[in-house]
Amino acid sequence: MAVGIKDKVAIIGMGCTRFGERWDVGAEELMVEAFEECLADSGIEKNEIEAAWLGTCMDEVNVGKSALPLSMTLRLPKIPVTRVENFCASGTESFRGAVYAVASGAYDLCLAMGVEKLKDTGYGGLPNPGSNWGSLSWLWWPNVTAPGAFAQLATAYAAKYRIPDDELKRAIGHVSVKSHANGALNPKAHLRKQVTIDQVLAAPIIAHPLGLFDCCGVSDGAACAVVTTVEKARDMGFKDFVTVKSLQLALSSGEEMGYNSWDGDHFVTTAKCSSKAYEEAGITDPRKEISMMEVHDCFSITELVTYEDLHISERGRAVYDALDGFYDRDGQVPCQVDGGLKCFGHPIGASGLRMLYEMYLQLHGRAGERQIENPRYGLTHNLGGVPFMNVCSIAIIGKS
């Protein structure tokens, strides 16, 4: 009988690059930068790693389709290395591969790496998705933009709960102001400048009601983790380590696009995935038990709706929780403590591991100026795709 992943795997080291427009380096240098911090943090030798996973998304403009770039760049000792891709959840997929491999007993020490190099591809935003979307790339994508798709989410949400336009804009504006304030405290963040609500509300509209400050950009960066069993961590002398409480993944089935049961105001995958994650972690009241979160704020409305899909805010109440400061750094459930996708940045393959990196630092009390008090559980949430067709990945970690 399946019993889940809770407390079977320990994270003994993590590393993350500075995110941003890293014109001076390639994906290989970014991987090395993250890996060196991870090795120093864990205290292990490279040759102790028995298997590795590499998460990247845009293979056509990045490191390619195989796992060789990780193996060759880090000079790994001819061990199994696997490349994984699952849109914006690619980094968490890398982590999931390493965690499950250790939990299965196949290996003692595994590496998870996520990386993406997007700033010198010739595109202002994301490159053409090409084969990543299969036939949908040409049948659907010419008529869809990411801001447009998520703007429709915002209008559907506002219509369902009868939220006035100015109130919605102020709430999602607060989400962005919060992230900028947190990012300003993070030396590795892409954007480190605070903004005011007046600046956010006065910014150019990209796709109504989303303005410039409601949209995250793209970045270069890498992040990684070394995992082992809890027993092995103790044998290695670790006394104070972070364990994986839950890992869950949910993908759209096509119902959102093909039927009228979904009204476009939330993410079906996140609502279901989070329920499974809480069950696996033994969490019964996430509003009270989750200490902090890093969620997929590709747009400010995505973060706002996710508060509800994670069953922390009640349906239709996320607007008011956000405005009340519930998710601020000094609120009850701080969200995007490191600046989130909006300000830390969004190199697609690295984002899931970057989120885990912040939760890991917070749990160890090593987050500097942005440290929150006595965190117990940290939750990370990735969302890849668009509201009507997406991938959702959720991880929960905490102290052993």
Positions marked catalytic: 88, 346
Helix (H, G, I), strand (E, B) or coil at 180: helix
First to last CA, the chain: 24
> Cα angle vertex 246, ends 248, 314, to 5°?
75
| 196, 176 contact by CB (below 8 A) | no
How far is the C-alpha of 28 from the C-alpha of 63, rounded, in Å? Answer: 8
CA distances for 141 relative to 148, 210, 264, 346, angstroms: 11, 20, 18, 21
How far is the C-alpha of 361 from the C-alpha of 380, rounded, in Å? Answer: 13
CA distances for 324 relative to 47, 175, 201, 310, 373, angstroms: 50, 11, 18, 18, 20
Q: Residues near 59 by Cβ (< 8 Å), separated by ≥ 6?
A: 65, 85
| 390, 356 contact by CB (below 8 A) | no
Q: Where are the alpha helices (DSSP H) in the chain?
A: 27-42, 68-73, 90-103, 136-139, 146-161, 165-183, 197-202, 230-235, 255-258, 268-281, 286-289, 300-309, 318-323, 340-343, 348-363
CA distances for 191 relative to 52, 195, 243, 339, 354, angstroms: 31, 11, 30, 8, 15
